[in-house]
Amino acid sequence: MAEERRIPGWRYRLRRLLRPRFIPFDGLSLLGYGHGIPRGMVNSIARGDYENPERRAVKAVLRPGDRVLEIGACMGVVSLTAARIVGAENVVAFEPNPQAAAVARANFQRNGLPVRLDPRAVGDQQAERLRQRADRIAPVVTDCGIRR
């Protein structure tokens, strides 16, 4: 067990030292350093713990063929996790921050999962219409740290 803890720490320190432009993460390849992503977010990706609760919830709840709306996609990690389960054609990600949307779009392309990305914000009225169409809703709330 102690051996297992040391290896990820070693990999994390090496990634920080090298500052790679792309980081392997949970079977994905994500943009890393040098893309305007806050250092704390990139470090979390390098450690392998970025959006762990959200990704666990998605993996526990979704089934193949489900449809997913991610409101506030940020880097697109939750959308990518969902797309691997339900298929990219069943995922729509909303991200109004242009810089975050560009990162998400690049992550979708890099991983060969063409998630539909909508650059608009979703307000109360739109959210209510979406809720009425949903079979079930599993809200997961996160905050994106990428600045406009």
pLDDT tens digits, 111-132: 999 999 999 888 767 666 666 6
Structure tokens at 113: 């999962």
CA distance 109 to 114: 6
* Architecture of the domain spanning 2-133: 3-Layer(aba) Sandwich (3.40)
**What's phi and psi for 135, nearest 5 deg?**
-75, -40
Strand pairing class (22-25; 28-31): antiparallel
At 1, the pLDDT band (50, 70, 90 cuts) reads: very low
Q: In this predicted structure, what is the pLDDT of residue 50?
A: 94
- Average of pLDDT values for 64-92? 93
| CB distance 70 to 60 below 8 Å | no
- Rounded to two decimals, the pTM is 0.77
d(CA 65, CA 44): 30
Contacts of 60 (CB under 8 A, 6+ apart): none
Q: What is the DSSP letter of 116?
A: E
Q: In the chain, where are the structural domains located? A: 2-133
pLDDT at 134: 58
pLDDT value at 87 more than 70: yes
